């Protein structure tokens, strides 16, 4: 099964940090915005819902839902044409994890891709801002600086094999970017040319073999595998632990900031 984890760095601002964890660790409904519809003067409320907070061996796992507005097209019988309408919809269940074990005790993992993760982070920014009276970013994208740390990452013993790379901004009149698949790619001529040589570009994705699985790691803090055994329920805890172990190894070589 396919499973993604987006690592987010928690703000060092004490006030924002405290309010963020108050929200995330209490099962409750948190209204964060409102909007008016064209056919009614009544304002609709958009909310974040923390349904469950459960302890794990490395922190707390959250089951989260949030409401947002989506644009749809409907067939109007009166106007006899397609019309644009806005509808309130709820996303979920969405799982997140507060890491409380070193060295990732300043990070949160959101088990979703960029779009949903950024939406949740934005909602949390709004809620924290309302509580402290000023807009602050309680969460930001974690960064994995391949351009600075790719050699250190490749030396991590548990990352047994480089299986795939995407390299952009290659300094070559004919090649702008490269996507290479295989095995032991860090020993290949292509790796030396596109990553280490004078025309080297920037690594955007690095796939490594870890604990009998292939994990794909992006510079923007995303990690995913196609070999997960669970995407929900209690078994999800072991999947989260795998992402934690990867993040821990990256952090230990200064490659997670």
- Those residues whose C-beta lies under 8 Å from the C-beta of residue 63, and which sit 6 or more positions away, are 50, 51, 52, 54, 92, 93, 94, 95
- Domain map (residue ranges) of the chain: 3-141, 146-252
Distance CA 133, CA 164 (A): 46
Cis bond leading into 93, ω under 30°?
yes
CA 142 to chain CA centroid, nearest Å: 9
Alpha carbons 211 and 74: distance in angstroms, whole number: 49
Distance from C-alpha of 235 to C-alpha of 84, rounded to nearest angstrom = 42
pLDDT at residue 111, rounded to an integer: 98
**How far apart are the C-alpha atoms of 30 and 127, rounded to whole Å?**
8
Q: What is the pLDDT of residue 86?
A: 83
Q: Mean pLDDT for each consecutive 10-residue tract of the chain (257 residues)?
A: 98 97 98 81 90 98 96 86 88 98 98 97 97 94 94 90 94 94 92 90 94 96 97 94 98 97
- Selection from 230, 220, 241, 235 nearest residue 3 by Cα: 230
Tell me the C-alpha to C-alpha distance, in Å, between residue 2 and each of 50, 126, 199, 226, 227: 24, 30, 34, 4, 6
The closest of 97, 104, 117 to 256, measured between CA atoms, is 104
Nearest 5°: the CA angle 65, 69, 73 is 130
**pTM tops 0.75:** yes
- Determine if residue 160 is left, alpha or beta; phi over 0 gives left, psi from -120 to 50 gives alpha, anything else beta: alpha
Asked whether the beta carbons of 248 and 101 are under 8 A apart, the reply is no
């Amino acid at each position: 099964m396919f499973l993604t984890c987006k690592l987010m760095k928690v703000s060092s601002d004490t006030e924002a940090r405290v309010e963020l964890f108050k929200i995330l660790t209490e099962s409750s409904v948190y209204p964060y915005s409102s909007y008016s519809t064209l056919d009614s003067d009544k304002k609709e409320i958009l909310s974040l819902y923390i349904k469950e907070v459960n302890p794990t061996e490395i922190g707390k796992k959250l089951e989260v839902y949030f409401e947002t507005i989506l644009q749809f097209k409907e067939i109007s019988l009166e106007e006899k044409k397609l019309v644009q309408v806005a509808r309130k919809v709820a996303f979920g269940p969405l799982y997140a994890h507060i890491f409380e074990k070193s060295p990732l005790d300043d990070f949160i993992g959101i088990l979703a891709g960029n779009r949903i993760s950024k939406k949740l982070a934005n909602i949390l920014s709004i809620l924290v801002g309302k509580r402290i009276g000023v807009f602050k970013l309680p969460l930001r994208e974690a960064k994995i600086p391949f351009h600075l740390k790719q050699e250190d990452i490749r030396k991590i013993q548990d990352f047994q094999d480089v299986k795939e790379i995407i390299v952009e901004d290659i300094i070559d009149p004919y090649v702008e970017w490269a996507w290479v698949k295989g095995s032991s790619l860090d020993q290949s001529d292509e790796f030396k040319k596109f990553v280490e040589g004078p025309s080297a570009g920037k690594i955007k994705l690095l796939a490594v073999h870890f604990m009998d699985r292939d994990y794909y790691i992006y510079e923007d803090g995303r990690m995913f595998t196609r070999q997960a055994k669970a995407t929900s329920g209690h078994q999800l805890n072991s999947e989260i632990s795998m992402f934690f172990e990867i993040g821990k190894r990256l952090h230990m070589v200064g490659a997670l900031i």
